[in-house]
Amino acid sequence: MSAGSEPRPAPSIPLSRRLLAEFIGTGLLVAVVVGSGIAASTLSPDDTGLQLLENSFSTALGLGVLIAVLAPVSGAQLNPVVSIADWFLGRRARGGLGLAAGDLGPYIAVQVLGAVAGAVLANVMFGVQTSISATERVSAGSLVAEVVATAGLIVVIFALVRTGRTAIVAPAVGAYIGAAYWFTSSTSFANPAVTVGRIFSDTFAGISPDSAIGFVLAQLLGAAIGVVITSLLFPAAVGEASEERERASAVG
C-alpha cells in the first residue's frame, strides 16, 4: 500500500473478485492463526508464554501483509464486524471503506466460509485431523476482553480511515492485534469469522462451539461500542471535514 493510497475497493471491481479476495484473505488469516498455533505448541511444548509469543507474532505479521495485499481489491475487511461497521459508518459519503449495503451479506458469508476453509487447510498442512475443538474459553473476563478488543479494532481502523491516514491501516491493525493478544485475557479473537473457523481445529488456537457463541456476541457488542466511539471522536471523514470548514469560512 503506497503512501496516500486508500484501503477501498475500486468501484469498477466486480463483486465476484472482491468476494474471492475476502474468501482467500480470511482463509489465509485463519491458516496463519491456527497453523502458527500448532507450530508453537510443537516447538515449545512446555512453555505456554513462548507459544503465545510465537502465535501472536506470526498473526500480527500475517494480518498486516494480507491487508496490504488485498485492500485494493476488496478493502481487506476479513471480518464481519468490520464489514458491518463499514456499512453503518459509510452511509454518509466517505465515512467508511466503501461497502455497499447489498454487498454486506455476501461479504460476511464468504468471510465465514473462508475462515472454516483456512482452519481445515492449517490442519492438513500440519497433519492434524480436522475435528471440533473442545477448548472452553468463556469466562466473565474473557467476554469483557472480547468487547474491549473488538471495540479497539473498530476505532483503530475507522479513525485512520476518517482522518485520511489509510496508508498505515495495515501495519496499525497488525500491531494492534499483536498487542491485544497480550493485554486481553481472551487473546483477542475480535472477529466472528475467525472465531467460527477456529472451532474446526482442536489445537492450541481452537475454541469450543459453546465458547464461540459467547465470543461472537461479545464481539458484536464491542463493534457497536467501537462505532459509537468512532462517531464521537471522528464525526466526519477527512473530506467532509474540509468541506465543512470551507462552508464555515464562506459564511464568515
The type of residue at 202 is D
Place of cell 482467500: 24
What average pLDDT score do residues 77-96 get?
84
CA distances from 8 to 29, 49, 52, 207, 208 (A): 19, 37, 32, 32, 34
Whether 246 shows a pLDDT value over 80: the answer reads no
Under 8 Å between Cβ of 169 and 7: yes
The pLDDT score that the predictor gives to residue 192 is 98
Under 8 Å between Cβ of 189 and 149: yes
Quick: pLDDT tens for 165-208. 999 999 999 999 999 999 999 999 999 999 999 999 999 999 99
State the CB neighbour count (10 A cutoff) for residue 92: 12
Model's pTM, two decimal places?
A: 0.89
> Residue 47 domain-assigned?
yes
> Residue 3 domain-assigned?
no
> Residue 184 domain-assigned?
yes
> Residue 4 domain-assigned?
no
Whether 238 shows a pLDDT value over 80: the answer reads no
The CATH number assigned to the domain holding 88 equals: 1.20.1080.10
Radius of gyration of the chain (CA): 18
Sign of CA dihedral 174, 111, 104, 181: negative
The grid coordinates of residue 33 equal 492463526
Whether 90 shows a pLDDT value over 80: the answer reads yes
Quick: pLDDT tens for 91-144. 764 555 678 888 999 999 999 999 999 999 999 999 999 999 999 999 999 999
Instruction: Tell me which residue range forms the domain holding 62.
Output: 15-251
> Residue 20 domain-assigned?
yes
pLDDT bracket for residue 4 (50, 70, 90):
very low
CA angle 71, 179, 26 (to 5 degrees): 35
Which has the higher per-residue pLDDT, 45 or 101? 45
> Residue 8 domain-assigned?
no
Whether 50 shows a pLDDT value over 90: the answer reads yes
The pLDDT score that the predictor gives to residue 147 is 98
> Residue 10 domain-assigned?
no
Question: What is the tally of structural domains in the chain?
Answer: 1
> Residue 185 domain-assigned?
yes
CA angle 37, 144, 44 (to 5 degrees): 20
